[in-house]
Amino acid sequence: MSVDTRNWIALKGIALAATFSIANSQSTTSLFFIPSLLRPLQTAGTGSKTPSRPSSSLRIPTLASEESGRLTPQPQENKVFNFSLGTSGTYKAVAQQFALFDSLNFSICVPIEIFVISVFSIAAYRARNVNNGVWTQWAATAGVVASIFPYTGALMAPLVHKIKRLGGDEEKIEPYEDAPIDREAEKSNTVEFVTKWGYLNAARAAVMYAATGLGLYAFAME
């Protein structure tokens, strides 16, 4: 076996391992990262349905000036750490965390996917040149991985842009300039969009697992 052949086999092995790693990372994201990201919103929703302590225990006396000039203690709620569903801070933080994750994921996974498609395409070309019927398997593997791009662009990218608008990372499209912001609707949309993205990402992981299986079959048949 020549050095070129050994190097090429190693390169195909690396491409297959990279495909499997991407599939694992995507499935892990949908199964663990997305639920943990949404947990603050869901926990707040559950907590709002349970009996809370008397409101008097949540108030801190402060000094307020009356018209007479006397200083009298006045109860005031401490809202520094208010993470209830009615506030905007929690859902915006979730949207911003998701936007950061998506940017990192794009910068890491896309170059690897392009590398994988290139290796599988060259493998198909080389196998066809020597009349090896396995070239169709390599071509199919490259095609399955390449299908990720239109799938992501058509179904997942619009959700990402919507989530980024909710988090303030992109400019919002407001129907009326002076229309008040509906915090509850934006919070609900954040949960809906991130959850839907997680389901689509799980389907994308299944596609990458299928590509790994096709590639392993082609690798074994050569």
The answer to the question of residue 104 being in a domain is yes
* Phi, then psi, of 80 in degrees rounded to 5: -65, -40
Contact 205, 23 (CB under 8 A): yes
Instruction: Tell me which residue has tokens 């070129």.
Output: 4
What percentage of residues in the chain have a pLDDT greater than 90?
Answer: 63
3-state secondary structure of 147: coil
The answer to the question of residue 69 being in a domain is no
The answer to the question of residue 196 being in a domain is yes
pLDDT-based confidence at 42, cuts 50/70/90? confident
Q: Which tens digits make up the pLDDT trace of 24-34?
A: 999 999 999 99
Which has more pLDDT, 72 or 125? Answer: 125
Would you give the DSSP letter of residue 169?
S
Which has more pLDDT, 87 or 118? Answer: 118
Domain that holds residue 24: 3-41+84-221
The answer to the question of residue 165 being in a domain is yes
**C-alpha 177: how far from chain center:** 30
In sequence order, the β-bridge partners of residue 63 are 73
Give the per-residue pLDDT at 60. 46
pTM > 0.85: yes or no: no
CA–CA dist 91, 24 (Å, integer): 27
Query: How many structural domains does the chain have?
Result: 1
The answer to the question of residue 46 being in a domain is no
Is 80 buried (19+), middle (13-18) or exposed (0-12) by CB count in 10 A?
exposed
Give the per-residue pLDDT at 87. 47
